[in-house]
Amino acid sequence: MSLGFPNASRSYDPDRHRIRFWGHDQAMEVPFLLDENVIFKLAPRTAHGEAGILAAFDAVRDRIHQVAMRVYAPGQRRSFYFLAASDF
């Protein structure tokens, strides 16, 4: 089964400068952490702060999901997958 993203929720951690979002592989939840620098790389005019970063995430969500699907390794149990600017 492939990775899907039926849940559109995401959250921003300002202390760690990361966005958290979730995918699903069948019934298994797969957490992802995205370095906020990715957002500024993909959407350079992003306003700083939670609202701006989450709005930019939503605008480039398809691209982020494509990269998440590429780095996801089915069958490997990980606490989370970290996506950095180098993955894009």
The whole-model pTM stands at 0.90
pLDDT digits (tens, 9 = 90+) for 33-71: 999 999 999 999 999 999 999 999 999 999 999 999 999
Task: Tell me the CATH number at 20.
Answer: 3.30.160.140
pLDDT at 1: 52
pLDDT (average), residues 4-8:
92
Say if residue 75's pLDDT is above 80.
no
Higher per-residue confidence, 71 vs 74: 71
Q: What is the domain range of residue 54?
A: 3-87
Q: How confident is the model at residue 78 (pLDDT cuts 50, 70, 90)?
A: confident
Burial of 65 (0-12, 13-18, 19+ CB in 10 A): middle
Number of domains in the chain: 1
What is the DSSP track for 26-86?
Answer: TTEEEEEEEEHHHHHHH-TTPPSSHHHHHHHHHHTHHHHHHHHHHH--TT---S-EEE-GG
